[in-house]
Amino acid sequence: MASTSPTRHAWRVLLGLLVVTAVLFGINALGVYVFKADNDKPASSWTPELALDLQGGTQIILQAATPDGAAPSADQLTQAVSIIRQRVDASGVSEADITTEGGRNIVVQIPGAASKADRARITASAKLEFRAVLYTDAPVNSFVGEDGKSTPYPTPAATLEATPTAKPTNASDPAYITPKLQAQFQAFDCNAEQESNPPEDQPLIACEFDNQGNAQAKYILGPMELDGTVINDATAGREQQSGQWTVNLSMNAKGTKVFGEISQRLNANRIANLSPRDQFAFVLDGKVISAPVMQAAILNGKPSISGNFTQESAKTLADQLKYGALPLSFTVQSSDTVSATLGSQQLQYGLIAGLIGLGLVAVYSLLSYRALGWVIMASIAVMGVLTYIIIAILAWRMGFRLSLAGVAGLIVSIGFTADSFIVYFERIRDELRDGRSITGSIEYGWERAKRTIYIAKSVNILAAVVLFILADATVKGFAFTLGLTTLIDVFIFVIFTHPVMQILARTRFFGGGHRLSGLNAESLGAVRGAEIEYRTAETASKGRAARNKGARGEAERRQTIAERKRAEALTAMGSKDAGKDSDAS
């Protein structure tokens, strides 16, 4: 019963691998057949997405604008490039190309067709302001005058009072609403172009819009009390009760303190029924994205923005807020399709190189390990399937794009993967040379090999992480695929290769030590027999030299240094004992 336990365990592990593979294909199938992108195309695909160098994409040229019309400084352009790159390439693997051109232009090249969310990430200033609500009303599509007919929006009279009669005590004080501000609010057209950089120390008239761009509400807001610089992190998520998408913020120490004081004030207004002065507006580039009622004091610095968000728009806003507002405003000068810088021919060359490398690994494995070479090839095949489907899922979930550098990382991983199995098989053969049975050699070899492999793969992963962090964007794809395949390599080694070896050990071909199995003890030149007696290579080959001429040479090649020294020492001891016996006689 005990002898079959490892086999049963191996079958259960392989079944688990099958389940994991099915789940991965099922996840990608949801992206292909259920979920849709903003352009109504499937969110995922059964083929990996290619990067700019292999597929081409969209080029957007942005021109910077300064308040005084002067050329922007080099530092401002550099900062803008850094922010745009972080927004577009939030996962670090989309292989976008962002450069400056001339004295005021930024050229952005992204793989594939640019979606609305991509354009929003690139062009939006993303200046976030926190303002208290002073007054709100429903927007009107046209102004109705005293004659009861639709007339143009009136211009507030210049003689109206614009200074508060009493000095406001806080940003929620209705004293800010002067006769002139009230007239401006009445005449404000939500469909007109909004001011993207309003004065921070003055009240603001702004509108809130739905997903279709229709105005939903019009507000008079107090002066800005906080801005987006207090945000440490921003993430998109679903609200548990309503299921709506929200943007969750995490503030620094200053933001936590100030927002806590603001929330206490607004919560007190709610308790006193001073609506709408219990509302707090999140204003992005002059537009209200949400103006919720403050239900309680928020003292932990982690408010959330709720609004008419989809998953994509919530993720876009979170990326914009996380990486900060652009130091300049930009206008889109042009948006064109660009061709691949390398093209499909280079991809074909890369794939051919990969196939050649795979073929060489197969030839070496079969020559060195006989039938065990097929275990190596099967492991690489399973790894290839998992890598392929994971890359397809990452293209959907993370925007991963496979560049030529990424293809190079996949090719290099073939050799690294074969290394793991070679270390394992050599450990098994060492145990066979020591006189263990095949099943025992597989278990003992596993215990000795896995530690070596874990250490080696840890070094590979560390190198990939350092390269990903420090290298140029064009090399990140190589580092990413190298790190990914290393992790998959370890996974396959544990959940496929070892269980397969446990099962093969119970078969007649491998378990019986067939000469073509790669596990034949005689062919390996075992230096210790079943009696646990060390023998020299010459002694071990006596009596069977006629039927196995190659065993002696194989034994000499395969003996470890320790085994050779011990065999020589035993031989020398035997010679001394023989000499003593001769002297005694």
Alpha-carbon distance of 338 to 54, in angstroms, equals 11
Q: How would DSSP label each residue in 43-105? A: S--SSPPB-HHHH-EEEEEEEEE-TTSPPPPHHHHHHHHHHHHHHHTTTS-S--EEEEETTTE
Other C-beta atoms closer than 10 Å to the C-beta of 308 total 15
Contact 60, 335 (CB under 8 A): yes
pLDDT tens-digit profile of 377-420? 999 999 999 999 999 999 888 888 888 888 889 988 888 888 88
Q: What is the DSSP letter of 427?
A: H
Count the alpha carbons within 13 Å of 7 in the hemisphere toward its beta carbon: 11
Q: Output the pLDDT for position 17.
A: 96
Alpha-carbon distance of 528 to 139, in angstroms, equals 92
Q: Output the pLDDT for position 584.
A: 47
Sign of torsion over alpha carbons 455, 460, 465, 469: positive
Spans in the chain with pLDDT lower than 70: 1-4, 38-39, 67, 90-94, 140-153, 194-197, 341-344, 526-585
Alpha-carbon distance of 527 to 523, in angstroms, equals 11
Q: What angle do CA 368, 370, 371 make, to 5 degrees?
A: 140
* pTM confidence score: 0.67
Other C-beta atoms closer than 10 Å to the C-beta of 500 total 18
Q: Output the pLDDT for position 81.
A: 87
Q: Output the pLDDT for position 384.
A: 93
At position 32, the amino acid (one-letter code) is V
With b for 16 or more beta-carbon neighbours within 10 A and e for fewer, the 330-353 pattern comes to: beeeeeeeeebbbeeeebeebeee
Alpha-carbon distance of 401 to 112, in angstroms, equals 10
Q: Output the pLDDT for position 340.
A: 75
User: Which of 157, 291, 161, 168 lies closest to 220 in space, CA to CA?
Assistant: 291
